[in-house]
Structure 1
Amino acid sequence: MRNTPLIEAFKENEQDLIRFLIVRLKSAFAAQDLAQELYLRVCGLDESFAVRNGRAYLFRMASNLAIDHLRREARQAELRDELQTFFGDEAEVATPEEALISRNELERLERAMAELPPLSRRIFYLSRFEQKSQREIAALVGLSPTAVFKHLRRVIDYLAAVRDT
């Protein structure tokens, strides 16, 4: 692998980036992980990719990674809280009949997801599993935010109809 100017800028600013991430994330371990992720992303850029100010670009990338990381952590905390509320202090053990019903419902929803057009399935995945905003998804798939909203609405309506049948 060839050292590009951006890789060189990363190596020169690595400790500053890590300190920056530690302050943002309040965790040295998470900061190290995100710094490594940042390095891998920089290494994955096309060699012809050029920026005027490598340091500023790297800090912007680090900031975006930190924001995404904090959003994921917040979403995971929400899900844990929901599960705690739903199940209470002690989770009830499902009866064999309940487990079978749940498994069948999950299989129906998986089949329904497989029947969706690939673009709609991707938009739904980015929204629900990667917690991307409609604007972020629109940029990734090349649609307007309104079109992304319409795809999501159709998928959710379709899955709800499948669930309710």
Structure 2
Amino acid sequence: MPESPLVQAFRENERDLVQFLVARLKSAFAAQDIAQELYLKVASLDGHEPVRNGRAYLFRMAANLAIDHQRRENRQVELLAEAQAWLADGQEPATPERTLIARAELRRLERALAELPPTTRRIFHLSRFEEKSQREIAAIVGLSPTAVFKHLRNALDHLAKVRDP
């Protein structure tokens, strides 16, 4: 099966795309990962409308993926700083008892997540772990933003009931 024009454009511009990503991300490893993600996205676009300027389209996609990557990285740094501040904020060191209690609560929440319908569980994951907006989630799962909101509310209500019996 012949390659799509966009996949061909990717192959022709791959070196330039990786250099562009290295300059943006300051990491050759991250640039390679993003370039691979870009290739997978481009390869999955077979059958879509043709793109007039494949090179420009690829660089725009690469820039968007780099921005998403940087946002995830920044969020992880924020969460780590938050966790460290919380841990250092006069908290007692973990004891075996506290560890057991925390593990039991974690298992209870994992079971509660498993009880959710698959669509609700996926929406919750996209929202809380992949930091997608309700609009982005709606596009991914094929529902309206209102339906996504309702799924999220149901998931949070269910988890709250399990956490606070």
TM-score (norm 2): 0.86
Residues 77-88 of structure 1 aligned to structure 2 (within 5 Å): 77-88=77-88
In structure 2, the gaps of 5 or more residues are none
Cα distance change, pair 93–2 in 1 and its aligned pair in 2 (3 A): farther
Instruction: Judge which range, 56-65 or 119-128, deviates more.
Output: 56-65
**Partner of residue 66, structure 1:** 66
- Tell me by how many angstroms 1:22 deviates: 3.1
**Partner of residue 53, structure 2:** 53
Could you tell me how far apart the structure 2 residues matched to 1:155 and 1:33 are?
32
**Partner of residue 158, structure 2:** 158
Which amino acid is 1:82 matched to?
A: E
Residues 102-113 of structure 1 aligned to structure 2 (within 5 Å): 102-113=102-113
How well do the aligned residues superpose, as a CA RMSD in angstroms?
A: 2.3
Which amino acid is 1:31 matched to?
A: A
Q: Deviations over 1:41-73 (max 9, x none)?
A: 323443x34323211221221122112101110
Could you tell me how far apart the structure 1 residues matched to 2:92 and 2:56 are?
52
**Partner of residue 24, structure 2:** 24
- Tell me by how many angstroms 1:118 deviates: 1.2
In structure 1, the gaps of 5 or more residues are none
SS class of match (1:148): helix
**Partner of residue 148, structure 2:** 148
Which amino acid is 1:125 matched to?
A: H
**Partner of residue 116, structure 2:** 116
